[in-house]
Amino acid sequence: MHMADALVVPAVAGTMYAASTAAAAYSIRKVRLENEPKKIPAMGVMGAFVFAAQMINFTIPGTGSSGHLCGGMLLTAMLGPFAGFLTMTGILLIQCLVFADGGLLALGCNIWNMAFYGCFVGGLLIWKPFMKRNMTKRRITAVSVAACVITLQMGAFSVTLETLASGITELPFSVFIGAMQPIHLAIGLVEGLITAAVLLFVYEARPGMLWAETAAKEEGRFSFRRTLVILAAAAAFIGGVVSLFASALPDGLEWSMERTAGTSELAASGGAYELAESIQGTTAILPDYAFSFSDSAAGTTVSGLVGGVLVIALCIAACYGMKFFRKGKNG
Nearest approach, Cβ of residue 280 and another protein (Å):
42
Angle at 330 (CA atoms; ends 329, 331), nearest 5 degrees: 100
Nearest approach, Cβ of residue 102 and another protein (Å):
7
Nearest approach, Cβ of residue 268 and another protein (Å):
40
Instruction: Say what the alpha-carbon torsion angle 61, 67, 73, 77 is, to the nearest 10 degrees.
Output: 60
Count of residues engaged in binding another protein, rule: CB under 8 A:
78
Query: Is 209 a residue that touches another protein (CB under 8 A)?
Result: yes
Q: CB-based contacts of 271: which residues, under 8 Å, 6+ apart?
A: none
Nearest approach, Cβ of residue 170 and another protein (Å):
4
Rounded Cα gap, residues 188 and 177, in angstroms: 16
In three-state secondary structure terms, 59 is strand
State which residue, 97 or 315, has the beta carbon closest to another protein.
97
Query: Is 18 a residue that touches another protein (CB under 8 A)?
Result: no
Subset of 20-79 contacting another protein (CB under 8 A): 24-25, 28, 31-32, 37-38, 40-49, 51-53, 55-59, 61, 64, 66, 69, 74, 78
State which residue, 49 or 289, has the beta carbon closest to another protein.
49
Rounded Cα gap, residues 300 and 30, in angstroms: 40
Rounded Cα gap, residues 9 and 317, in angstroms: 46
Identify the bridge partners of residue 59 per DSSP, sorted by sequence position.
Answer: 66
Range 248-271 burial, b when 16+ CB lie within 10 A, else e: eeeeeeeeebeeeeeeeeeeeeee
φ/ψ (deg, to 5) at 269: -135, 160
Instruction: Say what the alpha-carbon torsion angle 321, 326, 327, 329 is, to the nearest 10 degrees.
Output: 130
Among 197, 216, 228, 236, binds another protein (CB under 8 A): 197
Angle at 271 (CA atoms; ends 265, 276), nearest 5 degrees: 60
State which residue, 211 or 308, has the beta carbon closest to another protein.
211
Asked if residues 118 and 143 have their Cβ atoms less than 8 Å apart, the reply is no
Subset of 214-253 contacting another protein (CB under 8 A): none
Nearest approach, Cβ of residue 315 and another protein (Å):
34
Among 198, 212, 215, 235, binds another protein (CB under 8 A): 198
Query: Is 102 a residue that touches another protein (CB under 8 A)?
Result: yes
Element (H, E) at 58: strand 58-59
Query: Is 192 a residue that touches another protein (CB under 8 A)?
Result: no
Nearest approach, Cβ of residue 148 and another protein (Å):
14
Rounded Cα gap, residues 48 and 95, in angstroms: 11
Query: Is 208 a residue that touches another protein (CB under 8 A)?
Result: no
Subset of 154-183 contacting another protein (CB under 8 A): 163, 167-172, 175-176, 179
Nearest approach, Cβ of residue 154 and another protein (Å):
18
Among 9, 135, 257, 290, binds another protein (CB under 8 A): 9
Stretch binding another protein (CB under 8 A), from 84-92, 109-117, 291-299, 319-327: 84-92
Nearest approach, Cβ of residue 92 and another protein (Å):
10
